[in-house]
A = this chain, B = another copy of it.
Amino acid sequence: MTLDFKPRLLLGPGPSATHPRILQAMASPTIGYLDPQFFGIMDQVQDMLRAVFETTNPLTLPVSGTGSAGMEAALCNFIEPGDSVLVGVNGFFSQRMCEMAGRYGAEVRRIEKPWGEVFALEDVREKLEKKPAKLAAFVHAETSTGALQPLEGLGDLVHAHGGLLLLDCVTSLGGMPVGIDQNGVDIAYSGTQKCLGVPPGLAPLTISARGQAALMARRSKVANWYLDLSLLSKYWGKERAYHHTVPINMIYGLLEGLNIVLEEGLEVRWQRHRENAELLWAGLEKMGMSLFVPRAYRLPSLTTVQIPTGVEDLVVRRRLLNDYNIEIAGGFGPLASKIWRIGLMGHSSRRENVTLLLAALREIL
């Protein structure tokens, strides 16, 4: 068995295309996880992750798993049995948060909104006034719906009620502002394979001072050894104490991916994601299609578009894949067969990709 498969243009919800420089970085010779040379790489990765998260949080590191491991690390380290966790549920990934939090013994309370909508401060205030929560968890960029949760005032509100704000930045980090410090986010995680444009395998995570204090105040051990931040932080911090063997070559890839992000510049990169998304939106609308999420809270990294009446979801996606080598995705759960999800993330967010996808769709439809 060889790897002589056809390359694809990745315009789905992730992974996005990997920049050739990152692929090359990952092919650098493996060195040891306690090699002083590797410590230098770790420091650089952490510094650059802080820049991309827009934070000064010392506790910022890549978890050795994919984005879902980041979600689980963000939850399991802060939950002890019986803790109250408020989750804003408006899509697939916020449902997953409820599922995970429940496994760690949390008392999960949901604020529900239809898939595709977002939460107003009032929705959250009402729930917190009824009963405070240790964690209030939201998805910043909901990959299942294409909606962007506004963050203004959310951190202050959660803090005023004595809680921690947890934010899923899987589909936002590197493609739009996240402003972890400015928005008072205490716990945030992402995946490498979306707007950072690095292959899947690592989950960047950052924890505020308030979050660190909560970790220190735990009465019980974290009910997950591999993701226990009290152990991870000793390897990623000054002690360099062995916890587990981290994915060395993936970290090379993340280093190079972050180099690329910061060479481009965050603002320029966000603008590129925005402009290419707007080109796509205009093109889809010109073809008579309707975008699923109102412009006011539409994601630049992932566009959801309603499948026109009479058009077969799978037929179109199969033709895109088989005849054009283009991957886009369908909807999940209540949105299955109703929408397509088109990602323009990282190295996939390029004008020529928008042009090609629109032209291919015109040929097929």
Contacts from A to B (Cβ < 8 Å): 1-3, 5-8, 10, 12, 14-18, 23-35, 37-38, 40-41, 44, 48, 64-69, 72, 96, 99-100, 103-104, 191, 193, 199-201, 221-227, 243-250, 252-253, 255-256, 259, 321, 327, 329
Q: How far is the CB of A102 from chain B (nearest CB, A)?
A: 8
Beyond A65-B226, A222-B103, A224-B224, is A32–B3 a contact (Cβ under 8 Å)? no
What are 30 sample pairs from A and B whose C-beta atoms fall under 8 A apart?
Answer: A1-B40, A1-B41, A2-B259, A3-B41, A5-B38, A5-B40, A7-B31, A8-B31, A17-B30, A18-B29, A18-B30, A23-B27, A26-B27, A26-B249, A33-B200, A35-B327, A64-B69, A65-B69, A68-B225, A68-B243, A68-B244, A103-B224, A199-B248, A199-B249, A199-B250, A200-B248, A201-B201, A201-B247, A201-B249, A249-B253
Main secondary structure of the interface of A (DSSP, over half): loop
| Residue in contact with A65 in the complex, picked from B29, B31, B64, B248, CB distance below 8 Å | B64
Could you say which residues of chain B place their CB within 8 Å of the CB of A12? 32
| Residue in contact with A3 in the complex, picked from B244, B252, B329, CB distance below 8 Å | B252
Most buried by B among A100, A224, A256: A224
Could you say which residues of chain B place their CB within 8 Å of the CB of A18? 29-30, 249
| Residue in contact with A225 in the complex, picked from B5, B24, B72, CB distance below 8 Å | B72
Q: How far is the CB of A208 from chain B (nearest CB, A)?
A: 23
Complex CA distance for A260 and B17, rounded to whole angstroms: 27
Most buried by B among A7, A16, A35: A35
Q: Which residue of B lies closest to A327 (CB)?
A: B32
| Residue in contact with A223 in the complex, picked from B35, B103, B253, CB distance below 8 Å | B103
Complex CA distance for A66 and B31, rounded to whole angstroms: 15
Most buried by B among A31, A191, A225: A225
Beyond A29-B23, A69-B64, A246-B66, is A35–B8 a contact (Cβ under 8 Å)? yes
Could you say which residues of chain B place their CB within 8 Å of the CB of A200? 30, 33, 245-248
Could you say which residues of chain B place their CB within 8 Å of the CB of A250? 199, 201, 247, 249-250
Could you say which residues of chain B place their CB within 8 Å of the CB of A329? 34
Could you say which residues of chain B place their CB within 8 Å of the CB of A199? 30, 247-250
Q: How far is the CB of A221 from chain B (nearest CB, A)?
A: 6
B69, A221: Cβ atoms under 8 Å? no
Q: How far is the CB of A82 from chain B (nearest CB, A)?
A: 15
| Residue in contact with A15 in the complex, picked from B16, B193, B248, CB distance below 8 Å | B248
Known contacts A15-B245, A72-B226; can you find 9 more A-B pairs with CB under 8 A?
A3-B41, A7-B31, A16-B30, A17-B29, A27-B27, A33-B200, A65-B226, A66-B244, A200-B246
A259, B1: Cβ atoms under 8 Å? yes
Could you say which residues of chain B place their CB within 8 Å of the CB of A327? 31-32, 35
Could you say which residues of chain B place their CB within 8 Å of the CB of A64? 65-66, 69, 201
Beyond A225-B100, A250-B250, is A25–B1 a contact (Cβ under 8 Å)? no
Most buried by B among A10, A26, A44, A100: A26
Most buried by B among A31, A321, A329: A31
Could you say which residues of chain B place their CB within 8 Å of the CB of A103? 221-225
A-B residue pairs, 8 tightest by C-beta: A201-B247, A68-B244, A23-B27, A199-B249, A1-B44, A5-B37, A27-B27, A7-B29
Complex CA distance for A78 and B225, rounded to whole angstroms: 15
Q: How far is the CB of A170 from chain B (nearest CB, A)?
A: 9
Could you say which residues of chain B place their CB within 8 Å of the CB of A65? 64-65, 69, 226
